[in-house]
Each structure stands twice: as C-alpha cells, then as structure tokens.
Amino acid sequence: MNRYWTLADRPVGAWPDARTFELRDGPIPQPGPGQALTRTIYVSLDPYQWGYRRRGVEKPGDVCHARTVSQVVESRIEGLEPGDFVFNTNGWAEYGLMGEGVPRPGYMVPRRLDPAVGPISYAVGVLGMLGLTAYAGMVLQGDPRPGETVVVSAASGGVGQIAGQLARLRGAQVVGIAGREEKVRYVTDELGFDACVSHLSPTFAQDLKAACPGGVDVYFENVGGPVFEAVLPLFNPGARMTICGLIAHYGDDGGDAGAKERARAEARGVAVQNLFVGDYVESHHEAMLAELGPAVAAGKVRYRQDVREGLEALPEAFAEMLKGGNFGKMLVRVSPDPTLQVAVN
Ligand code: NDP
C-alpha cells in the first residue's frame, strides 16, 4: 500500500494544526508507458506550500504537494533504471509516478540525480530551488559589491544561509537576522557572516543599526513585518531590496504586504525587485550549479539541513518550519537514503 497525506479541509486558521491534514492509504500506482514508479526518500517542506493550501491551489483530498528526492522502483522511461535517484514531485507520499501525463506542480522538471555530485537531498535545497532562489535574488538582483553592507533575514534558514554566503563571496559585509541564540551564533561562527542579530531581542532595531554602522546597501527580504520595519530606516541612497518572501505574513487574511513594503521602500529611494524563482529556471539553473556545486563541495559555502524522520512527522515539521522551529532547510526523510553512510548534519 501507498501511504500519503492529504489536505483534510480548506485551512481556516492562520497556521496549520492537527486538523489540517489527513493520513490515508491506497494502492501503489502502476506506471504506464513513459512513466516510472518512484519511492520517496526526502520531502521538501517550503513556506510557499502554505500559500498553496490557504489560497485553494491545493484542494482537500489532494495529495499534499511537495518537491521530493526519490528512487526509481519500476521504469517505463527510456534511460531511467530501477535504483536511479531522481528529483521529482511525489508530495507527502511514500510512492508516486513521474513522466508522461503526470501533473507536475511546482516549476522544476523531474531529473535524474548523480549522487557523486553531492548528497541527493541537496537537489531540493542548495543545489536546487533554494540555491537558485538565493542566486537569483542575491547575485542577479541584489548584485552586492565589495565593501557594501548586505542584510539577510531568516539568515540561518534554507534560502537565507545561501544568499548571505553568496554576498560574502563577493566581498560584501554581511549582516544576518535570525531568531534564537544558537541560530545567531551559527550564522556568524559557521557561515562566516560579519554579524547577526536576533529579531527576538527587545533591542532588535538598535542592535541592527549598530551592526550596520554604514547603513544598508542591499536587503534580501525573507520575512517582513517588524523585521522590515527595523531595516527600513537604515537604507542608503542607491540601496536595492529583493522581496524573496514575507513569511511573517503567510498567516494573514487578505492584504498585499508585499505591495505595501515595496511602496514604503521605494518612497525612500530604494530599488525594489520582487523575486519568483520560476522565472530563472531555464536561464540560470546551470549558472547557479556552476557556482554553488564546486563551492559547496569545497566547503566554501556551508549548508545546514534540519532532517526529520518518517511520513508521520510531516504535518508537525511543516507547522514548525512556518514558525521558526526549523534550524536549516527543513526536510523529512520518509524512507532510508541508501547513499548515506552517516546521518546528514
Ligand atoms: P526557512 O528555512 O528560512 O524557514 C523559515 C524561517 O523564517 C524560520 O526558520 C524563521 O527563522 C523565519 N521566520 C518565520 N516566521 C518569522 C517571523 N514572524 N519573524 C521573523 N522570522 C520568521 O525557509 P526557506 O528558506 O524555505 O524560505 C525563506 C523565504 O524564502 C520564505 O519567505 C519563502 O517564502 C521564500 N522563498 C521564495 C521563493 C521565491 O521564488 N521568491 C522561493 C523559495 C523561498 P528564525 O527562527 O531565524 O526567525
């Protein structure tokens, strides 16, 4: 049998709870011509998935959408063999089909993975969508120059940790914003940011100002709300801001937080760009891999994952990630990873 999570009902509250999801089972699907059956190993949990559920893109009864790393069990796709590892979109399910006629939510085409390139879980992270998001938002949009001050919010998270390190590699002064103390320490001690301040501190706005004595030239926005309010007065003339995400607003009902932020930053002369990673897949996926692949392999870019275990862990891990309970990119391992000699992290 195949076990999978569905959305129980259209979410009503700001954040998911025990009633949001339902565990079901059904027969393992059979691959048709041009299809392969794959067993899910890693499920990627990403903030945008909550938007899908709240806005009704994902319907009650649907298998919950997610990007996954899987292993081929049976293949009717030429060139794809049982045992091969793939990036695909099985969602919150133990098994799924890929190939012809299989709906492919999300933007990335399924592809075969080479475990020699790096841990296979990185295909849903630093060597996949997260790496591309950080690359597009920081390198292409923010374009930091040596000596400029760059601020990154959610700095220890999946996207934030990569974005900040890309800026540091370009010679910028990089200041992170994170939550609890161990995350703040990780950002400076392990990732090598020049400073990091906690948005949980009662003196957060003063701390950020003190960490950016020359003002802010580039802001990589992942959060919004009070974090944005603290950055806003610090922008220098000619500053750039990328709105990558606004996780503090993902539980809001209505209102366009992004448009409001944009207008307020532009009123201060900041050049603001919105970011949608899907716009960069065809044009920049290879360029991202060419930079981040060797940098990660050489340890010049560090990457932390928060890996939870078992299909049952998915709803709680998802809710935790939305509220900062994750420490690094949030993943759930739903079946053993045969490539692992030792646990990731
Ligand atoms: P993260 O791993 O960064 O996890 C989310 C983090 O956000 C939490 O760990 C928490 O870190 C922080 N956070 C949550 N709520 C708040 C809050 N109210 N105030 C301050 N910080 C908060 O997730 P991702 O790396 O997957 O995503 C980061 C951002 O990038 C999201 O906004 C996401 O939507 C966006 N994104 C955008 C894409 C695009 O195409 N534009 C593509 C992919 C991601 P802490 O404990 O440190 O506060």
Question: Is 181's pLDDT higher than 90?
Answer: yes
Nearest protein CA to atom 30 of ligand 1, as residue: 245
Nearest protein CA to atom 39 of ligand 1, as residue: 276
Is 285 within a domain?
Answer: no
Q: Residue 90 and residue 104: Cα distance in Å, rounded?
A: 9
One domain for residues 250 and 164: yes
Question: Is 76's pLDDT higher than 60?
Answer: yes
**Rounded average pLDDT over 21-40:** 97
**Ligand 1, pocket residues at CB < 6 Å:** 46-48, 130, 133, 154, 156-160, 178-179, 183, 199, 222-223, 225, 227, 244-245, 247-248, 275-277, 321, 323-324, 326, 329-330
Is 28 within a domain?
Answer: yes
pTM: 0.95
Nearest protein CA to atom 26 of ligand 1, as residue: 46
Nearest protein CA to atom 9 of ligand 1, as residue: 324
> To the nearest whole number, what is the mean pLDDT of the chain?
95
Nearest protein CA to atom 8 of ligand 1, as residue: 324
How many domains, in total, are found in the chain?
2
pLDDT of res. 11: 87
pLDDT of res. 18: 83
Is 145 within a domain?
Answer: yes
Choose between 251 and 204: higher pLDDT: 204
Nearest protein CA to atom 20 of ligand 1, as residue: 223
Q: Could you tell me the distance, in angstroms and rounded to a whole number, from the CA of residue 223 to the centre of ligand 1? A: 6
Nearest protein CA to atom 18 of ligand 1, as residue: 248
**What residue has token string 């993943």?**
331
Q: Given the CA of residue 330, which atom of ligand 1 is nearest to it?
A: 2
Choose between 344 and 88: higher pLDDT: 88
Q: Which helix (H) or strand (E) holds 108?
A: none
One domain for residues 64 and 201: no
**Rounded average pLDDT over 9-19:** 86
**Rounded average pLDDT over 193-197:** 98
Q: Which helix (H) or strand (E) holds 50?
A: helix 48-55
Choose between 313 and 18: higher pLDDT: 313
What is the extent of the structural domain holding 38?
Answer: 2-125+303-344
Q: Given the CA of residue 244, which atom of ligand 1 is nearest to it?
A: 41
Question: Is 324's pLDDT higher than 80?
Answer: yes
For 93-127, the pLDDT digits (tens) are 999 999 999 887 666 778 899 998 899 999 999 99
Q: Could you tell me the distance, in angstroms and rounded to a whole number, from the CA of residue 282 to the centre of ligand 1? A: 24
Q: Is 92 helix (H, G, I), strand (E, B) or coil?
A: coil
pLDDT of res. 252: 87
Question: Is 345's pLDDT higher than 60?
Answer: no
Q: Residue 103 and residue 98: Cα distance in Å, rounded?
A: 8
What CATH code is carried by the domain that includes residue 201? Answer: 3.40.50.720
Q: Given the CA of residue 276, which atom of ligand 1 is nearest to it?
A: 40
One domain for residues 141 and 41: no
For 50-72, the pLDDT digits (tens) are 988 988 889 999 999 999 999 99
pLDDT of res. 159: 98
**Can you give the three-state secondary structure of 273-308, one letter per residue?**
EECCHHHHHHHHHHHHHHHHHHHHHCCCCCCCEEEE
Q: Could you tell me the distance, in angstroms and rounded to a whole number, from the CA of residue 247 to the centre of ligand 1? A: 5
Q: Residue 45 and residue 124: Cα distance in Å, rounded?
A: 9
One domain for residues 53 and 85: yes
For 205-246, the pLDDT digits (tens) are 999 999 999 999 999 999 999 999 999 999 999 999 999 999
One domain for residues 210 and 249: yes
